[in-house]
Chains A and B, each alone.
Chain A
Amino acid sequence: GEDVEQSLFLSVREGDSSVINCTYTDSSSTYLYWYKQEPGAGLQLLTYIFSNMDMKQDQRLTVLLNKKDKHLSLRIADTQTGDSAIYFCAEKGDSTLGRLYFGRGTQLTVWP
């Protein structure tokens, strides 16, 4: 399968910005996703970006895609304690026949 890598942990203070990074290997990626998993719950789609885009903004969320370096990031502005969760990067491409490949997840902890 394809490789999707993320750091495992990130801690920030409430009100600061959080940046979660992800790298992937599939050069045929068409869509890249960020999913959020709150404690005891399943995953929910947070946002996604099409591979021909560099950036996507949605309220406090900014997704940056560097296709050349196969690097994806999720920036959360004004991070709140309710943003504490595990964030998964996932990619889908032609080589995966449309299946999603997930990273290991980044545990974001927001301190008051």
Chain B
Amino acid sequence: EAQVTQNPRYLITVTGKKLTVTCSQNMNHEYMSWYRQDPGLGLRQIYYSMNVEVTDKGDVPEGYKVSRKEKRNFPLILESPSPNQTSLYFCASSFSLANYNEQFFGPGTRLTVL
């Protein structure tokens, strides 16, 4: 089944404790992206990747890192999480950014930073 998977789905952590949220897609998509969703703010893009070893900042990249060493994986790294990073995170992928290409979303990771 074609899908985007994220792990973990739920995570409660404490300020300053490094964490990684994994994202994997099995559709051979070139483009991958991370968003955060906050009430009343909608989805805001954190980082995106056009292809392997090509990443770029989105609209809210502060406090996050990403890597794209393989086409299928795009982990989101929080080196020193803070309470304002408590949010619902979505990974998405698409074949490319050209034309209408549909973005496929993962199920989300709900992160709470205490």
Contacts and interface: CB of A to CB of B under 8 A. Distances in A.
Interface of A: 1, 4, 8, 31, 40-45, 48, 50, 88, 92, 97-100, 102-105
Question: Which of A31, A42, A48, A97 is packed against the most chain B CB atoms within 10 Å?
Answer: A42
A92 B35 CA distance: 16
A43 B105 contact: yes
A4 B44 CA distance: 12
Interface string B20-57: 00000000000001010000111111001000000000
A41 B41 contact: no
24 contacts: A8-B40, A42-B4, A42-B90, A42-B107, A42-B108, A43-B43, A43-B90, A43-B92, A43-B103, A44-B105, A45-B102, A48-B102, A50-B100, A88-B43, A92-B97, A98-B97, A99-B58, A100-B103, A102-B35, A102-B42, A102-B43, A104-B40, A104-B41, A105-B43
Nearest to A44: B105
Interface of B: 4, 33, 35, 40-45, 48, 58-59, 90, 92, 96-100, 102-103, 105-108
Q: Please list the 6 inter-chain residue pairs (A to B) with the smallest Cβ-Cβ separation, ordered nearest first.
A: A98-B97, A42-B105, A104-B42, A102-B43, A43-B105, A45-B102
